[in-house]
Amino acid sequence: MHAIALWRRLLAEFAGTALLVTAVVGSGIMAATLSPDDVGLQLLENSVATAFALGALILTFGPVSGAHFNPVVSAADWFLGRRARTGLTATDLAGYTVAQVAGAIGGSILANLMFDLDAVTFSHKDRSAGHLWLGEVVATTGLLLLIFALARSGRSAVAPAGVGAYIGAAYWFTSSTSFANPAVTIGRAFTDTFAGIAPASVPGFVVAQLVGLLAGVGLLLALYPRPRGNPDRQEEPKKAVEIR
């Protein structure tokens, strides 16, 4: 049973996800403004800002909610902890997911308003292609494996740096630029800017992320079948985690 009230954890997930998407979208807008003729430089500026913001947000909200900011992370936490009842409950999972999606949409709207754009400008950037979906499977699988490998091996303290570094790198080594997060994917449909994704492209990305969830949990259980410290107790160490 969690010592922190559910409403506090939901508020942390809402605010953390909102600020994460604000960082992703806002840095994308700024990058396009500062480097209008260099897409590579725009991606560099966007990825660096996102990686640093993510690490800072995990440090800020991790002690309250675990700093998931991502429905697939929350789903994995529920699945891996259900036997020993150490992870999220089904009610927690539903609440986290709603808070994360709402926060992501709010974060996109906030970024639009900060840069004097309409509050909602649905993206026209088509991202529907098999190679992009494969990139999302890879990005999500790697993210989950990293997060829960750190938790199960007693290294959660380095999660802010590790997760931020992974997302920053995955911008570059995945074809999709590593959304790896259904809530953030939905939120980014609400901005027609550098970081946007067309609403029609969202379902394909979310399905790919769910495939990554299954692959990531499967690999984790093969490589780290039990948390360190007690081989007979399936318990996840307290973690501070997310994603983009």
Mind giving me the DSSP string for 45-97? HHHHHHHHHHHHHHHHHHHHH----SHHHHHHHHHHHTTTT-S--HHHHHHHH
Range of the domain at 100: 6-223
> Residue 1: inside a domain, yes or no?
no
Distance of CA 20 to the CA centre of its chain: 8
pLDDT above 70 coverage of the chain, percent = 93
> Residue 79: inside a domain, yes or no?
yes
> Residue 242: inside a domain, yes or no?
no
> Residue 78: inside a domain, yes or no?
yes
CA distance 51 to 179: 12
What is the average pLDDT score of the chain? 93
> Residue 131: inside a domain, yes or no?
yes
Burial class of residue 208 in the structure, from the number of CB atoms within 10 Å of its CB (0-12 exposed, 13-18 middle, 19+ buried): buried
CA distances from 158 to 17, 63, 225, 238 (A): 20, 14, 21, 12
Residues 6 or more apart whose CB falls under 8 angstroms from that of 106 comprise: 14, 18, 21, 187
Token duo for residue 70: 């991502």
Domain total of the chain: 1
- pLDDT tens per residue across span 79-122: 998 877 788 999 999 999 999 999 999 999 999 999 999 999 99
Most confident by average pLDDT, 21-35, 81-95, 224-238? 21-35
236 pLDDT higher than 70: no
- pLDDT tens per residue across span 191-201: 999 999 999 99
156 pLDDT higher than 50: yes
> Residue 232: inside a domain, yes or no?
no
> Residue 55: inside a domain, yes or no?
yes
CA max distance for the chain: 57
Residues 6 or more apart whose CB falls under 8 angstroms from that of 102 comprise: 14
Global confidence as pTM: 0.91
64 pLDDT higher than 50: yes
- pLDDT tens per residue across span 117-140: 999 999 999 999 999 999 999 999
CA distance 215 to 81: 17
Could you tell me the CATH number of the domain that includes residue 89? 1.20.1080.10
pLDDT at residue 229, rounded to an integer: 57
> Residue 65: inside a domain, yes or no?
yes
